[in-house]
Amino acid sequence: MEPVILSLNVGSSSLKFALHRFSAEAAERITAGAIEGIGVEVRLANHAAAVAAVFATLRQNRLPEPEAVGHRLVHGGPRHEQPERVSPVLLRSLRETVPFAPLHLPNELDAIEAVAARFPLLPQVVCFDTAFHSRLPEVSRRFPLPRALYDQGVRRYGFHGLSYEYLLTKLGAASIDAAPCGLLPSPAKPAPPIGRAVLAHLGNGASMAAVRGGEPIDTSMGFTPAGGFMMGTRSGDLDPGILLYLLNAGEDAQRIERTVNHQSGLLGVPGAPPT
Cβ(229)–Cβ(265) under 8 Å?
no
- Nearest one of 211, 203, 267, 212 to 235, comparing CA atoms: 267
For the cut 80, the answer to whether the pLDDT of residue 245 exceeds it is yes
- Mean residue pLDDT across the chain: 89
Residue 124: pLDDT band by 50, 70, 90 thresholds?
very high
> What letter does residue 12 receive in the DSSP assignment?
S
Residue of 129, 177, 218, 252 marked catalytic: 129
For the cut 50, the answer to whether the pLDDT of residue 239 exceeds it is yes
What is the rounded average pLDDT of the residues 223-248?
A: 95
Task: Give the chain's end-to-end CA distance (angstroms, integer).
Answer: 51
Q: Where are the domains of the chain?
A: 4-193
> What letter does residue 70 receive in the DSSP assignment?
E
Say if pTM beats, i.e. exceeds, 0.75: yes
129 classed as catalytic: yes
Please tell me the distance from the alpha carbon of residue 16 to that of residue 96, in angstroms, as a whole number.
25
pLDDT, one tens digit per residue, over 50-96 is 999 999 999 999 999 999 999 999 999 999 999 999 999 999 999 99
Please tell me the distance from the alpha carbon of residue 115 to that of residue 5, in angstroms, as a whole number.
13
In sequence order, which ranges of the chain are alpha helices (DSSP H)?
47-60, 88-97, 105-118, 138-141, 147-151, 161-170, 240-248, 253-262, 265-268
pLDDT, one tens digit per residue, over 163-213 is 999 999 888 765 444 444 555 544 445 455 578 999 999 988 999 999 998
Superfamily grouping for domain 4-193: ATPase, nucleotide binding domain (3.30.420.40)
